[in-house]
Amino acid sequence: MKVAFLGTGLMGQPMAQRLLEAEIPIIAYNRTASKLEALRDAGAEIVDSPEQAIRESDCTILMLTNAQAIEDILFSDSAKQQLAERTVIQMGTISPTESKAIASQVVAAGGDYIEAPVLGSTPEAKAGKLIVMVGASPEQYQKWSGILKHFGSEPLHIGEVGAAAAVKLALNQLIPSLTGAFALSLGFVQREGVEVERFMEILRQSALYAPTFDKKLQRMLDRDYSNPNFPTKHMLKDTNLFLNEAKSKGLNVSSLEGIRQILEIAQNLGLAEADYSALFSAINPDK
């Protein structure tokens, strides 16, 4: 089996590398060619167009920025013609509505589609310890779980297309919400002159604690958001996706709209490419 991998950025590159390490042939395409060099050196076949990658593979894995990028790559006249009798595995973060719409277009072109978004960042991608959530029929899940196990040992079948995308967005909503709440408390105790480690000792012993607090603590204390596991601009994108979907379901999203404003401030501070823990600098600006 040969796998096309479209989108080899922060997450896509280590995920494609996992397949190469398992001796699964990879044909890779990325709009920014420089992001393909490491995979070329590792033995991947590199092509200049997505349609060539789709045509010469058995299935196509997508790890692209957003739904618009997926549509631009999959549904150009030349690429769309290559989808017949091929499977598309969509692994990026998009909304349930977008995933279902893309599925309809793939099926209309004669192809097959499943969604398999992942929870985790680059360390988990490199280690093959991502949480993989699958939206597919039971038959599709059985057929493709072998490939998905290279990214996470136990891919979870959530339901039909749309279900996994919904769970992924629900989980991603917690990331900025928890991080923002922690940043606010951290900034408060700092300004009150409380020793940060004393505050953390108490927090770690309580039911309020989440491991992400310690993961982001030093970045916030140092205000060093370089080498991001997940950049602010992508967190803002996912937050907007959740807001749009949740509003359509009649949910009150006031609390998350506040977090969106904080992420926008961080982005306006020039921290769009920085780790999303940069929201600390928006909540607790330098005096």
Structural domain boundaries in the chain = 3-159, 166-283
Map tokens 């896509």 to a residue. Answer: 12
Amino acid sitting at position 264: E
Mind listing the pLDDT tens digit for each residue in 256-285? 999 999 999 999 999 999 999 999 999 999
Task: Looking at 128-162, list the stretches that DSSP marks H as alpha helix, in order from N- to C-terminal side.
Answer: 138-148
Structure tokens at 223: 């205000």
The answer to whether the CB of 76 falls within 8 A of the CB of 51 is yes
How many CB atoms within 10 Å of residue 21? 12
Across the chain, mean pLDDT equals 96
For domain 166-283, give the fold: N-(1-d-carboxylethyl)-l-norvaline Dehydrogenase; domain 2 (1.10.1040)
d(CA 225, CA 122): 15
Beta bridge partners of 231: 275
d(CA 102, CA 98): 6
Is the predicted pLDDT of residue 287 greater than 90, yes or no? no
Handedness of CA 89, 92, 93, 98 (dihedral sign): negative
Average pLDDT over residues 120-149: 96
Phi, psi torsion values for 172, nearest 5 degrees:
-65, -30
d(CA 88, CA 260): 31
The answer to whether the CB of 171 falls within 8 A of the CB of 119 is yes
The answer to whether the CB of 48 falls within 8 A of the CB of 19 is no
d(CA 107, CA 215): 41
Average pLDDT over residues 112-117: 98
- Cα 272 off chain centre by: 16
**CATH H superfamily, domain 3-159:** NAD(P)-binding Rossmann-like Domain (3.40.50.720)
Amino acid sitting at position 21: E
Name the percent of the chain lying above pLDDT 70. 100
Mind listing the pLDDT tens digit for each residue in 11-34? 999 999 999 999 999 999 998 888
Q: What is the pTM of this model?
A: 0.93
The answer to whether the CB of 68 falls within 8 A of the CB of 76 is no
